[in-house]
Amino acid sequence: MNQEKSLTCLTKLDNRLHGSFRCPRERGPLEICPAGIFLSGERGFFLQPEKAWQIDFLDGYQKRMVEIAKGIWGFAELGMEEVLSSALLEEELGRQGFSVKKGVAGLPTAFVASWGGERPVSGILAEYDALPGLSNRPVPRRDPVLEGAPGHGCGHNLFGTASMAAAVSLKSMMEKFRLPGTVKCFGTPAEEVCIGKPYMARDGCFRGVDAFLDWHPDFQTTAYYRTCNAYASVRYTFRGLSAHGNKPWLGRSALEGAEVMGVAVNFLRGHLDPGQPPEGASTLNYTYTRCGQYPNVIPDTAEAWYIYRLPTRPE
């Protein structure tokens, strides 16, 4: 390869590292560089042999990835209920040579799949929980399978599948090129309600990992740093005194206490540090999970569930 083409190769690499990355489905002739492979042609770019090999591996693994992603989409299980989804990922990782420890941190649908035994230890996070009320067929329009049932509105069927596939391809590449290290795929349930990862961290599941790789379905394929906020999930319980609705002055409505807090929080929003939108925006969301059953009964118990993302924990 001449000097001009080498410079073009490195320029393309730099552009790919600092911008959106897209791997062409049809790759042209290969030219060997001292540090790797240059895929010639108008849309070509520079790859190390290990990365080029991994792309080929994933091309061959695509059919199985689609099967698993469709399976998790169809299961559409809420957080802490991902029995079938976690089992599907655990089974595939076991089939690919990983040692799978199920039910870690006391969470039935959490797992840690490991391969290797040396340093460095690379961790890859997988999520697979659905959201309530978002049941849908795999089409780009509203078309519920069952109205009101759970569905994957955040792409976690893709998240879990691709994280599993990344761990499998990384293991295979390390075997192929005889590279030292350990690969761990962490099945982290109930991400949408912030349950899985905190309990797994508390129980030391992430201890000893040198680097974590994470991703999320998005409108673009790229690699970059994102800003994350401190996250908290809190349920507030309000107590009152029950009474019949025709004599409400004899009671004290717990729901009214929850509503007053909601009004105050809405006023507070205008005074929050906005953070770094869109990825690192400060948010404060809530819903009422218990608020009485009959309007003709003054509720003696109410519960409000708050989830907030702020730049620091003290805030």
Is the same domain home to 22 and 130?
A: no
Is the same domain home to 133 and 3?
A: no
Q: What is the CATH number of the domain that holds 279?
A: 3.30.70.360
Is the same domain home to 194 and 234?
A: no
Is the same domain home to 254 and 198?
A: no
Q: What is the CATH number of the domain that holds 142?
A: 3.40.630.10
What's the pLDDT at 182?
98
Render pLDDT for 217-239 as a digit per residue (tens, 0 to 9): 888 888 877 777 888 899 999 99
Percent of the chain with pLDDT over 70: 85
Is the same domain home to 75 and 170?
A: yes
Contact 296, 245 (CB under 8 A): yes
Render pLDDT for 129-153 as a digit per residue (tens, 0 to 9): 999 999 999 999 999 999 999 999 9
Domain span at residue 28 reads: 1-47
Is the same domain home to 72 and 184?
A: yes
Tokens linked to 296: 């003709």
94: CB partners within 8 A, 6+ apart:
100, 113
What's the pLDDT at 45?
55
Render pLDDT for 42-62 as a digit per residue (tens, 0 to 9): 445 567 899 898 999 999 999
Is the same domain home to 287 and 181?
A: no
Which residue blocks in 19-120 are alpha helix, DSSP H?
49-75, 83-95
Could you give the number of structural domains in the chain?
Answer: 3
What's the pLDDT at 313?
76
Say which DSSP state 126 is in.
E
Is the same domain home to 76 and 170?
A: yes
User: Is 30 among the domain residues?
Assistant: yes
* Residues 75-100, mean pLDDT to the nearest whole number: 98
Tokens linked to 180: 């030292």
d(CA 85, CA 189): 10
User: Is 225 among the domain residues?
Assistant: no
Residue 246: pLDDT band (50, 70, 90) is very high
Residue 21: pLDDT band (50, 70, 90) is very low
What is the rounded end-to-end Cα distance, in angstroms, of the chain?
A: 56
What's the pLDDT at 218?
85
pTM confidence score: 0.79
What's the pLDDT at 280?
83
More confident residue, 27 or 112: 112
Which phi and psi (to 5°) does residue 302 adopt? -145, 155
